[in-house]
Structure 1
Amino acid sequence: MRENAPPRQLTFDLPLDPRYGREDFLVSPANEAAYALIEAWPDWPDTVLILTGPAGSGKSHLASIWATRAHAWTVAAAEIGAASVTHLVSNGALVVEDIDRADGLDEAALFHLLNLARERRCPVLITSAQAVDALGIRTPDLRSRLRLAPGAGILPPDDALLRAVIVKLFVDRQLVVDLSVVDALALRIDRSLARAREVVSELDRDALGRGRRITRPLALAVLERLGMQEEPD
């Protein structure tokens, strides 16, 4: 008599809060320049610094580390307006997140904020997934100010960092997997920490739904479903 397959379990796609502590940041050649810049505070070369890197590369993590040390407020670039500039600078330190994602960015307000920050010696850390010249800033003075701001970029992760991040993502979800699973993912996914997060989340959801532990065959099946089954040349 054939046994019935185990029923699929209901899964709840609850958001997993990322851990943004200093001890949770993994330093590698891909991000060591950016990490060193954050660690150099308060001995920064300028009032305004820009941190660039692709989505999921760790910009927000580094910004959070600095914000904790500097007691800085954090605001999305899209939320900056003329009425909020003085208030934002009044705290003494500020993170401006995702300047590249600010549709309809109030350039006049941002320029005023940077000028006021310089006048009041309020350090400002700006994050962006794109270099300044790719942002499409129309205001010449603002574009020039951002170009002159020192900063650091985060590069795509090397093999060691990608594997370490995959392990950390599993640990954060309290999942124990064999290293063969980590190797299978690292060899096949895009060299992107954002993609690593997406795949680990999908594996967790799939394993929970099936009531199975995460194995290499399951990992390969999920990668195939996501169009990433083939190992790159």
Structure 2
Amino acid sequence: MIGQLPLDLPHRPSDAEEDFLAAPSNEQALALLRLWPDWPHKLLLLVGPEGAGKSHLGAIWARRAGARVVTASCLEIEALPELASAPALLVEDADRPPLREKELFHLINLAMERGVFLLVTARKNPDAWGLATKDLLSRLRRAPAVAIEQPDEAFLRVILGKLFHDRQIKVEPSLIDYLALRLERSFEAAQHIVSALDREGLARGRAVTRALAAELLAASPGLAAADDEDAAETDANDDDH
């Protein structure tokens, strides 16, 4: 029997404010963005790991502030004056190569001169970007920054449930519990395992079960939590019908 060909179709979850998953790991970031326009500074850095919800938070703020949205790697010198003519601006993925140091530095200067609110998102703090432009690094170091932390086990369960829901995959609650106990507690690990389960389920023409999850986790030990010894023994066949 020939399996289905898995199509790598884009999944676009809602970026509405009511669909944002609020938790202790992101409550400070959410509160500060909601505080706009009463920010302590016109420039704010939003830092968090891959998949942490930076784009979702940025979209919420951009709608509130009427901000233009641009990816940092797409910045061009000739376009900066027009960008800085907006009342607010969201620059996403500032630390993702290729770094546009000259363009970002000039954009920040223009925005500050014109009183434009500027939200910059990145995976890491500026000292870890590998910046060669000292003035840019100095400017970013002085800016207020708010971080999204990695999820705890309870929030990881919520994230997994939302990721499955976004892909319209129906799973048993026991599968969520199984993954939450064994996965590395990171947004990236949750995204990776849900994507892999979706892909393998389609390819094999079978439901997404705990047995399939056990198989994929065994094949990807890097996704497992460091303290997974207590969860190592499982009955992988009890829901594989």
TM-score of the two chains, using structure 2 as the length reference: 0.87
Secondary structure of the residue aligned to 1:51 is: strand
Structure 1 counterpart of 2:182, from 178, 188, 212? 188
* Deviations, residues 188-213 of structure 1 (Å, cap 9, x unaligned): 22211122112111111212222222
Deviation sequence 1:144-199 (CA, Å, 0-9, x none): 21111112011111111111010011111222211111112112222111221121
Q: Is the 8 A contact 1:75 1:96 kept in 2?
A: yes
Cα pair 1:77 1:96 within 8 Å, conserved: yes
Asked if 2 retains the 8 angstrom alpha-carbon contact of 1:55 and 1:194, the reply is: yes
Q: Distance in 1 between matches of 2:99 and 2:136?
A: 15
Aligned length: 227
1:204 is matched with which residue: 176, 198, 201? 198
Identity between Structure 1 and Structure 2 (%)? 47
Match of 1:223 in 2: 217
Q: Does 1:27 align with 2:49?
A: no
State the one-letter code of the partner of 2:199. R
- Give the letter aligned to residue 49 of structure 1: L
50, 59, 78: which one pairs with 1:55?
A: 50
- Which of 59, 76, 85 lines up with 1:64 in the alignment? 59
- 1:232 maps to which of 196, 209, 228: 228
Mapping 1:66-215, distance limit 5 Å: 66-107=61-102, 109-215=103-209
Please give the residue correspondences for 1:28-43 in structure 2 after superposition, counting only pairs within 5 Å: 28-43=23-38
Q: Which amino acid aligns with 1:232?
A: D
Aligned to 1:17: 12
Report what 1:3 is aligned to: none
Give a deviation string over 1:76-107, Cα, whole Å, max 9, x none: 11222321110111122111111111324232
Q: Which amino acid in structure 1 is aligned with residue 192 of structure 2?
A: E
Equivalence for 2:236: none
SS of match in other structure, 1:220: helix
After TM superposition, the score normalised by the length of structure 1 is 0.90
Distance 1:104 1:197, change over 3 A: closer
Structure 2 runs not aligned, ≥5 long: 230-241
CA distance in 2, matches of 1:140, 1:8: 54
For the residue of structure 1 that corresponds to 2:228, the secondary structure is coil
Q: Shift in Å at residue 18 of structure 1?
A: 2.8
Q: Which runs of 5+ in 1 are unaligned?
A: 1-5
- Please tell me whether the aligned partners of residues 10 and 209 of structure 1 are also in contact (alpha carbons under 8 angstroms): yes
Query: Take 1:176 and 1:44, find their aligned partners in 2: how far apart are those partners?
Result: 41
Which whole-Å CA distance do the structure 2 matches of 1:78 and 1:63 have between them?
17
SS in 2 for 1:99: coil
CA contact (8 A) 2:101 2:133 kept: no
Equivalent AA in structure 2 for residue 143 of structure 1: L
Residues of 2 paired with 1:19 and 1:74: CA distance?
Answer: 17
What RMSD in Å do the two structures reach over aligned CA positions? 1.8
